[in-house]
Amino acid sequence: MTQEPPRDGPGPETDATALYLEYKPFLLYLAGKKFHIPAPDAEGVVHDVFVSYLEQRTRIRTLRPWLIWATVHASQDYWRRRRGTEPFSSEQEDRPDEATVRQTARIEESFSVREVFGHVRTRCRELLIHRFLEGFTIAEIAAQQSITAKYAKKLVFGCVTKLRRLYRKGTKVL
Amino acid sequence: MPSSAHLSMVDLMAYFDATVSPEEARTILAHLETCDLCRAQHDEFCAFQDELEDPEFAHRPVPDTIPEPSEQQVEEFRALASRLDVEDAEAGRLLPFLLTGSPDDWRTHAAQPSVTMTWALIHHLLDEGHRFLTIQPSHALDLALFAGDCCAYLPDATSREQDHKAHFTGLAFKEKANALRMLGRLPEATHATETATLWLLMSTNGEFEVAGVQYIRAAILWSQRDLVSARRVVRASAKTFALYGDSEQCRKSEVLEAGILYEMGQVAEARDLALRLLKSAQTDKDLALQARLCANLAQCVGDLGDPEGAGNYYLTAMSLYDELGLKTENVRLRWSLGDLTARTGRPNDGLILLERAERDFEDLGMLGEAGMVALSRAELLLTAGHFAEVATICHTVIARFEKLGAAKNALQALEYLREAMVAGRSTPVLIREVREFLQHLPTDPSRAFEPPPPIA
């Protein structure tokens, strides 16, 4: 037996507790059953998703898909963070990119963005912009770079991992 | 992974992301070939990843075997929600104090020890900036920059706080990009979209907001006439909005795509997309979008050789704008309808519509627009040989633009037209060149007027 939830979220004015009761079981199911996150940690993942929801609820128009995708991303991130090694980080990648450092304006400096973006190689930044901002598919990026799709995917996700790792390291000194 | 052990979810996730080394990939693959348990888990995980790509995934029924949250959990959540509500209300009260004086004063206020920076305060700043985006983009830019600076004060001791800090910083850059776009500072806006994307990628759940950044990027590319890229980017944003079930944002992206298709000369495709969107706007009773789409459809079907259909769409759009109380949009469309009517064999009817549009613009105090309509009228009258009337119109237009304090190059173009009139050298083509030059000046203010070569 299953129950069909409303297609659209009830909107930001709806009581948050009612939404918690309505959606938490499904989000736990996603984190626990689909992503195999151990029960106590799955609780934590879903809890963080709800906190994000509470903080951003005025911007969220369709609640259910938002909560589901937030849980999916949080669950993926849970496992990615547990991977200890960066398979293709190198000395070269850890060197600041001078061009980026020079380009940073006052606002960027105030965020200590040099600490993060300055350490990501230009190629890495370009790959991320191509994939996530400019909407190129992995196959298109592979064709542009004359590499296999599998390697392109590896590069792109490796760059995301590296960016996040540098940020988490960098923000501690902000 | 140890060769004897089963695959962990960490291995599986890394293998799926393709972030494992070639050697690790070989080991994992070899293990999957021999271990039924891990292969089943891998296949299930891959199937689930495919499910996620299905736009209907988020709407699937929920298994009812999942336990309800305990009373204690609900109570804790209720307390958390209440605390965040209090923070939100506090941020709303703090905002007027924070935004007193100049942007430098804002920063001084934010640095005071009594001010605790919270996510809610950043939210209020971003919302405030967004409110000014179309009416005062320079103020919206100040607010976005300030919101960005305020993000530096957000706590980042835990990974969740770091995550949120990256998210809000990304949102501040997104608003910065939007404001810069509105100000026509396109290269800076482009750079801000890239920075926004990178910040949002550093947060766990930035994908949805990146789609919003993509929308801004597409609009920038459109302004820069890079239509192929603009279309690719806006389609990517629409796809993400659809995945997140945000039909309103998705439709907004598709409206932009229809505009891009039209500019690309793919008029029939633009019409088909606009028609589909019109149907959904009618279902949702979204009058503003219906009006905009009808105006777009008028252009499309007019270009496709159906002036009657175009006229009908213009009239529908005008009546919708009337209903919405948007007088200026209504007058703009009367101008377009007048042009269309005159171009399609009914010059006198077209002239009447243009005359009325000119008068309405004048009544609204929009002298620049009134001048442009007057030039449209002058072009038609000159074609019909009414030289004396055209000379009067030219004098009036010059007077209007002088009153407006128009730029030197705009006045030079109009003066050239006036001299051509006096010398009997003016032609409909020259009037159109001057009108189009004036129309494009806001996007290219330093451009000099180059008169068309004389007819041999």
Confidence band (pLDDT; 50, 70, 90) for A117?
low
B166: distance to nearest CA of chain A, Å? 9
Spatial distance between the Cα atoms of B215 and B160, rounded to a whole number of angstroms? 27
What is each CA distance from B21 to B46, B47, B302, B410, in whole angstroms? Answer: 20, 23, 58, 62
How wide is the angle at C-alpha A137 spanned by C-alphas A136 and A141, nearest 5°? 75
Residue A112, pLDDT score: 47
This prediction has a pTM of: 0.80
In the stretch 261-290 of chain B, residues with CB closer than 8 A to chain A read none
- What tokens were used for B284? 């949702």
Closest by CA position to B4, among listed B33, B35, B50, B44: B35
A7 lies in some domain: no
Q: Quick check: B413 and B435 in contact, CB under 8 A? A: no
Confidence band (pLDDT; 50, 70, 90) for A170?
low
Confidence band (pLDDT; 50, 70, 90) for B240?
very high
Q: Do A3 and B245 touch (CB under 8 A)?
A: no
Q: Quick check: A86 and A165 in contact, CB under 8 A? A: yes
Least confident of A54-58, B249-253, B341-345, B415-419: A54-58
Residue B24, pLDDT score: 85
A73 lies in some domain: yes
Least confident of A102-111, B209-218, B281-290, B368-377: A102-111
Distance of CA B360 to the CA centre of its chain: 28
- Give residue B254's identity as a one-letter amino acid code: E
Looking at residue A159, which CATH number applies to its domain?
1.10.10
For residues A98 and A41, membership in a common domain is answered with: no
Residue B62, pLDDT score: 65
Overall average pLDDT of the A121-126 stretch: 81
For residues A39 and A74, membership in a common domain is answered with: yes
Least confident of A72-76, A104-108, B144-148, B346-350: A104-108
B425 CB burial (10 A radius; 0-12, 13-18, 19+): middle
In the stretch 9-38 of chain A, residues with CB closer than 8 A to chain B read 16-17, 20-21, 24-26, 28-29, 34-37
Q: Do A51 and B20 touch (CB under 8 A)?
A: no
What percent of chain A has a predicted confidence (pLDDT) above 70?
A: 67
- Give residue B165's identity as a one-letter amino acid code: K
Q: Is B49 on the interface with A (CB under 8 A)?
A: no
A34 CB burial (10 A radius; 0-12, 13-18, 19+): middle
The answer to whether residue A104 scores a pLDDT higher than 80 is no
Residue A14, pLDDT score: 54
More confident residue, A118 or B61: B61
Task: Point out the residue among B67, B145, B243 whose CB comes nearest to the CB of A107.
Answer: B145
Overall average pLDDT of the A144-155 stretch: 88
What is each CA distance from B94 to A101, A128, B122, in whole angstroms? Answer: 35, 37, 11
Q: Is B245 on the interface with A (CB under 8 A)?
A: yes
The SS3 of residue A87 is coil
For residues A167 and A100, membership in a common domain is answered with: yes
Residue A86 φ then ψ, to 5°: -105, 105
The answer to whether residue A114 scores a pLDDT higher than 70 is no
Residue A97, pLDDT score: 44
| Residue B14 CB partners (closer than 8 Å, separation 6+) | A79, A80, A83, B20, B24
The answer to whether residue A91 scores a pLDDT higher than 60 is no
Residue A11, pLDDT score: 43
Q: Is B193 on the interface with A (CB under 8 A)?
A: yes
Distance of CA B321 to the CA centre of its chain: 20
Closest by CA position to A134, among listed B111, B160, B220: B220
Residue of A nearest to B213 (CA): A133
For residues A96 and A164, membership in a common domain is answered with: yes
Residue B54, pLDDT score: 76
The answer to whether residue B358 scores a pLDDT higher than 90 is yes
Residue of A nearest to B152 (CA): A111
**Mean of all residue pLDDT scores within chain B:** 89
A21 lies in some domain: yes
For residues A30 and A71, membership in a common domain is answered with: yes
Spatial distance between the Cα atoms of B424 and B387, rounded to a whole number of angstroms? 9
Q: Quick check: B390 and B381 in contact, CB under 8 A? A: yes
Whole domain around residue A69: which residue ranges?
16-81
For residues A118 and A70, membership in a common domain is answered with: no
The SS3 of residue A3 is strand
Q: Quick check: B172 and B151 in contact, CB under 8 A? A: yes
Q: Is B29 on the interface with A (CB under 8 A)?
A: no
Q: Do B62 and A88 touch (CB under 8 A)?
A: no
Task: Point out the residue among A2, A153, A167 whose CB comes nearest to the CB of B62.
Answer: A2
Q: Residue with structure tokens 């542009």? A: A144
**DSSP string across B398-442:** HHHHHHHT--HHHHHHHHHHHHHHHTT---HHHHHHHHHHHHHTT
Q: Best residue in B12, B13, B241 to probe A by mutation, most A CBs within 10 Å?
A: B13
Residue A86, pLDDT score: 40
Q: Do B162 and A107 touch (CB under 8 A)?
A: no
The answer to whether residue A106 scores a pLDDT higher than 60 is no
For residues A166 and A121, membership in a common domain is answered with: yes
pLDDT single digits (tens) B114-126: 888 888 999 999 9
Q: Is A114 on the interface with B (CB under 8 A)?
A: no
Residue A99, pLDDT score: 43
Residue of B nearest to A64 (CA): B58
What percent of chain B has a predicted confidence (pLDDT) above 70?
A: 96
Least confident of B48-57, B141-150, B270-279: B48-57
Confidence band (pLDDT; 50, 70, 90) for A163?
confident
Overall average pLDDT of the B24-39 stretch: 88
Residue B425, pLDDT score: 83
More confident residue, B337 or B15: B337
More confident residue, A94 or B416: B416
More confident residue, A82 or B36: B36
For residues A122 and A155, membership in a common domain is answered with: yes
Q: Is A104 on the interface with B (CB under 8 A)?
A: no
Q: Is A168 on the interface with B (CB under 8 A)?
A: yes
A86 lies in some domain: no
Q: Is A69 on the interface with B (CB under 8 A)?
A: yes
Residue B453, pLDDT score: 67
Confidence band (pLDDT; 50, 70, 90) for A58?
confident
For residues A27 and A100, membership in a common domain is answered with: no
Residue A125, pLDDT score: 87
Spatial distance between the Cα atoms of B58 and B241, rounded to a whole number of angstroms? 12
A87 lies in some domain: no
**How many residues comprise chain A?**
174
Residue B94, pLDDT score: 93
Confidence band (pLDDT; 50, 70, 90) for A96?
very low
Question: What's the number of CA atoms in the CB half-sphere (13 Å) around residue B124?
Answer: 19
Distance of CA A87 to the CA centre of its chain: 19
Q: Tally C-beta pairs within 8 A across A and B.
A: 207
In the stretch 54-113 of chain B, residues with CB closer than 8 A to chain A read 57-59, 61-64, 66-69, 73-74, 77-78, 80-81, 84
More confident residue, A14 or B279: B279
The answer to whether residue B275 scores a pLDDT higher than 50 is yes
A54 lies in some domain: yes
Residue A6, pLDDT score: 39
Residue A173, pLDDT score: 31
Overall average pLDDT of the B142-170 stretch: 90
Q: Is B246 on the interface with A (CB under 8 A)?
A: yes
Q: Do B205 and A70 touch (CB under 8 A)?
A: yes
- B198: chain A residues, CB-CB within 8 Å: 116-117, 125, 128-129, 163
A69 lies in some domain: yes
Query: Which residue among A50, A81, A112 closes a domain?
Result: A81
For residues A145 and A98, membership in a common domain is answered with: yes
A125 lies in some domain: yes
Least confident of B62-76, B317-331, B414-428: B62-76
The SS3 of residue A2 is strand
Q: Is A90 on the interface with B (CB under 8 A)?
A: no
Q: Do B245 and A62 touch (CB under 8 A)?
A: yes
Task: Point out the residue among B10, B19, B24 whose CB comes nearest to the CB of A157.
Answer: B19
Confidence band (pLDDT; 50, 70, 90) for A119?
low
pLDDT single digits (tens) B385-403: 888 888 888 888 888 888 8
Overall average pLDDT of the B159-179 stretch: 91
Task: Point out the residue among B62, B84, B193 whose CB comes nearest to the CB of A26.
Answer: B62
The answer to whether residue B178 scores a pLDDT higher than 50 is yes
Residue B384, pLDDT score: 85
Q: Quick check: A26 and B69 in contact, CB under 8 A? A: no
Evaluate whether ipTM surpasses 0.90: no
In chain A, where does DSSP find H-type helix? 16-29, 39-56, 63-81, 98-103, 106-110, 114-117, 122-128, 138-145, 149-170
Spatial distance between the Cα atoms of A124 and B160, rounded to a whole number of angstroms? 25
Q: Residue with structure tokens 């439709």? A: B251
Q: Do B9 and A128 touch (CB under 8 A)?
A: no
Residue A95 φ then ψ, to 5°: -80, 135
Closest by CA position to A151, among listed B138, B269, B21, B130: B21
A92: distance to nearest CA of chain B, Å? 18
Residue A84, pLDDT score: 55
Q: Best residue in B16, B17, B71 to probe A by mutation, most A CBs within 10 Å?
A: B17
In the stretch 103-142 of chain B, residues with CB closer than 8 A to chain A read 119-120, 123, 127
Query: How do the domains of chain B map onto residue ranges?
Result: 9-51, 85-205, 366-456
The SS3 of residue B276 is helix
Tally of structural domains, chain A: 2
Kindly state the helix (H) or strand (E) to which residue A154 belongs, with its residue range. helix A149-170
Residue A75, pLDDT score: 92
Overall average pLDDT of the B138-154 stretch: 93
